[in-house]
Structure 1
Amino acid sequence: MKKKVLITLLLCIPFISIILVIMFRLTVVPTNEEVISQLKEITCYKTNVEYITNNSRGEEKEETTQYYSEDKGARIDFGIDRIKFYKDGNIRVEDNISNKEYNVEADLDKLHSLAFMKNLLSYPIEEGSIKEGQEEWGEKKYIELTLELFLENDHLDKAKVFIDKKEKTPIGAIIYDKEGNDRLRIIYKNFEKLKEIDNDLL
């Protein structure tokens, strides 16, 4: 009897081990799709964002700081020169150079607001485009995916997004035009998830 119980236990050990490995993987190592979903669901963060635009005038760079709160709205600081506030579908601009304040239509601000995680990851993922790599961003192992942008703008047709697989934070995005040319690069630095953002900032 004891021998049968012992044999049964020995036979069960491999199956129990396999189940434990699967459970451990699901809880500790999320799938690429889960990482993308978690990033999309972040409700509050701060990050530096660099925009690199390629056009007929050559390459232009903008260094910004982005604040995002799902409840309170969002803000982009363009150094000390200009601040854009995004709330309830409205965009308010504080121009510190001309010392003026004015509103901008949302349709005229597709480029900068595209960098908000909630906006960027709201577009459909191209089938079969989710993969892993390590060539584009130095030694960082990343998740790569391609998004179909529906912005009615020939210069903003598709986006290739890169996510740090280990840190589960955005690295950057490359935006292509209808011809497949690299038109815009969005680079995230010092991405920080927050519990909340000070009301005075938004």
Structure 2
Amino acid sequence: MAKKKREVPEINSSSTADIAFLLLIFFLITTSMDTDRGLARRLPPPPEKDQKLDDAKKKERNVLQVFLNMQDQLMCGNDYITVDQLRAKAKEFIANPYNEDTKPEKISKNVPFFGTVQVTEGHVISLRCDRASSYKAYMSVQNELVAAYNELRDELAQEKWQKNYMELDQEQQDAIREIYSQKISEAEPKKYGEKK
């Protein structure tokens, strides 16, 4: 006697879409999405069309040009310097303690806790790098520029309150940031040369 072939029942696929949707939701909830964190930088304003030559010279004195070339050599203004010298150059430029004509112009500003003080309101540090410069050199330049601002803020906090900047309350920190506001502008990297 021949056996009758047994039919295999079909799998019910009506809930497959529901299961796939639940798995998708599960992975979206449990997976952490990495978000890119950037460096906070200020872009310089575009030049005005009716800007006079005298105004351009005034604005030129408010900008410290920092350039990192493809050999990771650093140029600050018209001088080649080392990364170790950059912090001192930047601090001198930002603070302009002797109100020199070649450094940013100072204006009087009323700042909480300090009263009326002379600040270099319009200063900008413009950083430009060659595309072939190394990331390590780029980050060390960035670190030195930020460290210059941090040191100036710490020095002012020590002078006024005998505390470090980070130990101050929010209002005191805001007042110091008004005096030494961080203005680092980063230009688009250019391809000046090729590494051989």
TM-score range, shorter chain: 0.3 to 0.5
- State the TM-score, normalizing by the size of structure 2: 0.35
Bigger fraction of residues in strand = 1
Determine which structure has greater relative contact order: mean sequence separation of CA pairs < 8 Å that are 6+ residues apart, divided by chain length. Answer: 2
